[in-house]
Amino acid sequence: MADLLGSILNSMEKPPTVGDQESRRKAREQAARLKKMEELEKRKKAEFRKKMEKEVSDFIQDSSQQKRKYNPMGKIERSILHDVAEVAGLTSFSFGEDEESRYVMLFKKEFAPSDEELEAYRKGEEWDPQLAEQRRRLKEQAALEEAASTQTEKTQACPNSNYRDKYSHLIGTSAAKDAAHTLEANRSYGCVPVANKRDTRSIEEAMNEIRAKKRQKREDDTGAQSSSF
């Protein structure tokens, strides 16, 4: 019986000491503080959301405003503002290089920013539509000039000239046709055929040779006609 009573007494929880009571008290106080802080944070978020909803509503109703820039704010506040803007049907962006300088801009749907405008904000620049238009025109002009320059270089590299027409007044149409045939371009090797690249004769020498061949041909034809008589 004594053993049974001793076993029951040993299994029973011992009364808390003074140290245990103090630890539990501190734990309860800390839990209460945390709960109070959470409630305070929740109330601040609700108040901030309500404030943003009012400002966003005023912004939408103001026809003179196309966009609105806010002062830098924390990540939680930016998240709330983005959510309010999305619900209201607005476009919103965050800009700024670091967390302390990041801010939110709202845009009405009909005045959504262009890629150039967004790029300016990302670089920390103010958006100037007139300056942007000047830059756009200069870029287009530079592109046109570059295209024209490229076309000119291509034309100079492979001139579209007719050799036969160029020298017909010097050596005759028939002879010029023969000369043009010997200098006909080969598409596989640019404007000058491979065979002509190895020909060291000048144009005048080539034309003289053609004239001699034509003269010899006429003499042969004349001789043949005389023999027939």
Write the pLDDT tens digit of every residue in 134-156.
Answer: 777 888 888 888 888 887 777 76
- CATH topology assigned to domain 42-113: Ribosomal Protein S8; Chain: A, domain 1 (3.30.1370)
Look at residue 199 in the predicted model and tell me its pLDDT. Answer: 57
pLDDT bracket for residue 22 (50, 70, 90): confident
Phi, psi angles (nearest 5°) of residue 107: -130, 140
Look at residue 152 in the predicted model and tell me its pLDDT. Answer: 77
In this prediction, residues 10-14 reach a mean pLDDT of: 59
pLDDT bracket for residue 5 (50, 70, 90): low
Look at residue 16 in the predicted model and tell me its pLDDT. Answer: 57
Look at residue 183 in the predicted model and tell me its pLDDT. Answer: 47
Higher pLDDT, 155 or 70: 70
Higher pLDDT, 48 or 24: 48
* Alpha carbon distance 210, 229 (integer Å): 29
* Alpha carbon distance 171, 204 (integer Å): 10
Percentage of residues of the chain with pLDDT beyond 70? 66
Tell me the per-residue pLDDT of 153-202, one tens digit each, with 9 for 90 and over: 777 665 555 545 555 555 455 554 555 555 444 444 445 554 555 556 66
Residue 95 DSSP SS3: strand
Pairing mode of beta strands 103-107, 91-95 = antiparallel
Helix, strand, coil percent values for the chain (each to nearest 5): 70, 5, 25
Look at residue 229 in the predicted model and tell me its pLDDT. Answer: 47
Look at residue 54 in the predicted model and tell me its pLDDT. Answer: 96
Q: What is the mean pLDDT of the chain?
A: 76
Residue 209 DSSP SS3: helix
Higher pLDDT, 17 or 208: 208
pTM for the complete prediction? 0.49
69 forms beta bridges with 105
Per-residue pLDDT at 70 exceeds 90: yes
pLDDT bracket for residue 133 (50, 70, 90): confident
pLDDT bracket for residue 58 (50, 70, 90): very high
The answer to whether 206 and 181 have CB atoms below 8 angstroms apart is no
Residue 68 DSSP SS3: strand
Higher pLDDT, 26 or 69: 69
Look at residue 73 in the predicted model and tell me its pLDDT. Answer: 94
